[in-house]
A and B are shown apart, each in its own frame.
Chain A
Amino acid sequence: DQQVKQNSPSLSVQEGRISILNCDYTNSMFDYFLWYKKYPAEGPTFLISISSIKDKNEDGRFTVFLNKSAKHLSLHIVPSQPGDSAVYFCAASVPGSQGNLIFGKGTKLSVKP
């Protein structure tokens, strides 16, 4: 039961270019989405979030886009830096839950110098 799907296990991008990480979800009731970044041997680090009442949220080099009709969100990183190399998780907040986040499997981003 994959309610949150990240279909690309890995992505390789040249430094300075744009990285686009994609996430699809199946439950139209999800109302809040988050992106986390994870380095090896560390816990997930919060990056950026978006509420379902918005279609875009921007924070520095990171922008998240939400397309509710397509049940799709994406994280754009511009420009990409080698330090961005990590696993990126998309997560959705279960509506009405007490903090239950549903995670995707993650996409490993490699930014090459």
Chain B
Amino acid sequence: EPEVTQTPSHQVTQMGQEVILRCVPISNHLYFYWYRQILGQKVEFLVSFYNNEISEKSEIFDDQFSVERPDGSNFTLKIRSTKLEDSAMYFCASSLDWAETQYFGPGTRLLVL
């Protein structure tokens, strides 16, 4: 069964460093998403992406964040200058259409020291 994959599974970085989290969505899906879950809190929407453009973003998705689909398969989330409060699980998801079910990857656990 097709699945969303994410790399790395864990990332430890120093505050102020840039990180890039990678995702390979399900191959025939056209809509892509990033969510995050801070330990003990809810899963929170960050951004949706379609046709090489951001469709929607939340208040969390400030100028430190960016997304890109650099080739036909990868979908990346970049955090330019990490802060301690960026420590969280980051989940990528994809769907056939924005109104269709979103399928999630296993997540990347980011720890900012």
Chain B positions 22 through 39: 1 when the CB is less than 8 Å from some CB of chain A, otherwise 0? 000000000101010000
Cβ contact of A36, chosen from B31, B33, B98, B104, cutoff 8 A = B104
The interface residues of chain A lying within 8 Å CB-to-CB of B55 are 98-99
Q: Is the CB of A43 within 8 A of B106?
A: yes
Cβ contact of A46, chosen from B35, B99, B103, B106, cutoff 8 A = B103
- Band of interface residues on B: 20 to 34
Q: How far is the CA of A66 from the CA of B104 in the complex (A)?
A: 24
The interface residues of chain B lying within 8 Å CB-to-CB of A32 are 99
Q: How far is the CA of A74 from the CA of B97 in the complex (A)?
A: 26
Q: How far is the CA of A106 from the CA of B89 in the complex (A)?
A: 15
Q: Does B18 contact A (CB under 8 A)?
A: no
The interface residues of chain A lying within 8 Å CB-to-CB of B56 are 97-100
Those of B42-56 within 8 Å (CB) of chain A: 42-45, 48, 50, 55-56
Q: Is the CB of A99 within 8 A of B95?
A: yes
The interface residues of chain A lying within 8 Å CB-to-CB of B50 are 98
The interface residues of chain A lying within 8 Å CB-to-CB of B91 are 43-44
Query: Would A44 and B43 be within 8 Å (CB), given that A100-B56, A100-B58 are in contact?
Result: yes
Known: A49-B101, A99-B56. 10 other contacts (CB 8 A): A34-B101, A36-B104, A43-B105, A91-B43, A98-B48, A98-B50, A98-B56, A99-B31, A103-B42, A103-B44
